Amino acid sequence: MEDPFKNQAPSLTSPASQGEAITPSDTATLGQPTRALYVGTGGDVTVEMLGGQQLTFSGLQGGQFYPLRVVKVLATGTTASGLVGVS
């Protein structure tokens, strides 16, 4: 299928075109920084942000996209599941 938008530069507000299932790990980084994080089943998510900060987002709702630029989802502190990073 021809992509009519292939010559346009993507921005943070344009739709995601790639994604990867995320298995939380205290050591492994993601294939690339995310534009957003999808949470399938709610809970807490501990991440390393693109800027290097480590943060815990508590009580995230399942079935939601969160506009977070993350490079790592840590196993320690993460209780949410069904995580997908989109970019």
Provide the pLDDT confidence category of residue 2 given band limits of 50, 70 and 90: confident
26-65: pLDDT as tens digits: 999 999 999 999 999 999 999 999 999 999 999 999 999 9
Q: What are the two backbone dihedrals, phi and then psi, of residue 64, each rounded to the nearest 5 degrees?
A: -125, 150
Residues 6 or more apart whose Cβ sits within 8 Å of residue 25: 72, 73, 74, 75
The domain spans of the chain are: 19-86
Longest C-alpha distance within the chain, in Å? 42
Interval 68-79: pLDDT, tens: 999 999 999 999
Residue in the structure block whose two tokens are 């010559």: 7
Give the residue with greater pLDDT, 28 vs 2.
Answer: 28
pLDDT confidence band for 17 (50 / 70 / 90): confident
Select from 27, 15, 25, 6 the least CA-distant residue to 83. Answer: 25
pTM for the whole thing? Answer: 0.89
E strands present in 1-87: 19-21, 36-39, 43-49, 54-60, 64-66, 70-74, 84-86
